[in-house]
Amino acid sequence: MFSAPVLMQVLINGLSLSAIYVLIALGFTLLFGIMKVVNFAHGSFAMLGGYALFYYFGELKLPYVVAIVLAALTVASLSLILEWLVYRRFYQKMFQSMIGLLGLDIAIVYTSVLIWDVYERSVPAALDAMVQLGPVMIPADKLMVIGIAIAVLLAFWAFMSSSRYGLAVRASAEDIEIAEAQGVNTRRIYQLAFFLAVFMTAIAGAIYAQTYALSPFMGERPLMVAFIVVILGGMGSIPGAALGGVIFGFAESFLATFYGSATSTFVSFAVVIALLVIRPWGLLGKPEH
């Protein structure tokens, strides 16, 4: 049962899921950590990333790497219109944002139904070849999307840790009032954080849609995953989101492979409930005083 080929498959699947989940969770926790916005429309941006990839890669036949980056840039750029019209009304208003952005999510989903209908589409595979890793044959497109997700995460880490704007984002996440006192333009930082959050979410949604299926309702699963991962890692904690995504991705891969998807879902929610009881601020979060 625990043979080397099966364990290698679990490892690859876990790495793939972890990369997607970390991207999804980072986008969610970035908005919460800085603007205190609970983004119930998070899954809709992931869904739009899937449709954008379908258009650029499936219809226009652009090279895959170009298509997925362009898809994320398109969704993130257009989302700035919603940031201006809707999101800025809910900054630093956590409970109001829950209701308002739930309504926005419904509006985006059913607008998508009117445009694309309800039936599922398949995003073509990036590559048709197979790669042999030891005793296991792995689809080359899975390795490619893992590589793209890791590249995006490394670029995000470098931006946040080394660039002037990245440091301003981190300072705003720690304490918005002190950041403003130090001369940080919070209006611009909010827009930058929002753009980055949607960009990463759209890439994750594009990969997710390619892995599973694309439909206007596909955002429900990424939204649920984002909640689980950020609760596991700690609301508003960027390192916590990364740690939570890795733990959840590998746990789901292992449990689903050996015990079935129902057991995987049950254990995932049981762990989150237990964590909320024992350590409600998450693994790397900070308790509120």
Q: Crossing angle, helix 220-233 and helix 238-259, to 10 degrees?
A: 120
CA distance 91 to 159: 23
Find out whether 205 and 46 touch, Cβ atoms under 8 Å: yes
Kindly state the tokens that stand for 265.
Answer: 């879902």
Residue 283 lies in a domain: no
Residue 2 lies in a domain: no
Tell me 230's DSSP state: H
Residue 212 lies in a domain: yes
Kindly state the tokens that stand for 198.
Answer: 């949607």
Beta strand extents in the chain (DSSP E only): 130-133, 136-139
- Residue 263: give the domain boundaries: 7-278
What residues contact 68, with CB distance under 8 A and at least 6 apart? 53, 56, 57, 148, 203, 206, 207
Residue 143 lies in a domain: yes
pLDDT at residue number 244? 86
Closest CA to 197 of 87, 54, 107, 66: 87
Residue 284 lies in a domain: no
pLDDT at residue number 1? 57
Q: What is the CATH number of the domain that holds 128?
A: 1.10.3470
Residue 224 lies in a domain: yes
**Other beta carbons within 10 Å of 111:** 12
The pLDDT tens digits for 37-77 are 889 999 999 999 999 999 999 899 999 989 999 999 999 99
Q: Mean pLDDT of all residues in the chain?
A: 86
Confidence of residue 260 (pLDDT cuts 50, 70, 90): confident
Residue 258 lies in a domain: yes
Residue 288 lies in a domain: no
The pLDDT tens digits for 195-208 are 999 999 999 999 98
pLDDT at residue number 288? 62
Structurally, the chain folds into a number of domains equal to 1
Average the pLDDT over 237-258 and give the result.
85
